[in-house]
Chains A and B, each alone.
Chain A
Amino acid sequence: GNSVTQMEGPVTLSEEAFLTINCTYTATGYPSLFWYVQYPGEGLQLLLKATKADDKGSNKGFEATYRKETTSFHLEKGSVQVSDSAVYFCALSATNTGNQFYFGTGTSLTVIP
Chain B
Amino acid sequence: DSGVTQTPKHLITATGQRVTLRCSPRSGDLSVYWYQQSLDQGLQFLIQYYNGEERAKGNILERFSAQQFPDLHSELNLSSLELGDSALYFCASSVSGLADTYEQYFGPGTRLTVT
Could you say which of B13-21, B62-70, B100-108 contacts chain A? B100-108
Chain B: which residue is nearest A95 at the CB level?
B100
In the complex the two chains form, is B57's CB within 8 Å of A43's CB? no
A93 contact set on B, CB distance < 8 A = 99-100
Q: What 0/1 pattern do residues 88 to 113 of A give for CB contact below 8 A with B? A: 01000111011111111110000000
A102 contact set on B, CB distance < 8 A = 45
Task: Judge if B2 is at the interface, Cβ distance under 8 Å.
Answer: yes
Q: What 0/1 pattern do residues 89 to 109 of B give for CB contact below 8 A with A? A: 010100001111101101111
A43 contact set on B, CB distance < 8 A = 2, 4, 90, 92, 106-109
B83 contact set on A, CB distance < 8 A = none
Task: Judge if A82 is at the interface, Cβ distance under 8 Å.
Answer: no
A26 shortest CB reach to chain B, Å: 16
Known: A43-B108, A43-B109, A45-B106. A100 touches B99 (CB 8 A): yes
Known: A44-B90, A93-B99, A106-B42. A98 touches B56 (CB 8 A): yes
Chain B: which residue is nearest A32 at the CB level?
B100
Q: What 0/1 pattern do residues 55 to 94 of B give for CB contact below 8 A with A? A: 1111000000000000000000000000000000010100
Q: What 0/1 pattern do residues 12 to 41 of B give for CB contact below 8 A with A? A: 000000000000000000000101000000
Task: Point out residues on B near A: beta carbons under 8 Å.
Answer: 2, 4, 33, 35, 42-45, 48, 55-58, 90, 92, 97-101, 103-104, 106-109
- 3 nearest A-B residue pairs (beta carbon): A43-B106, A32-B100, A98-B56
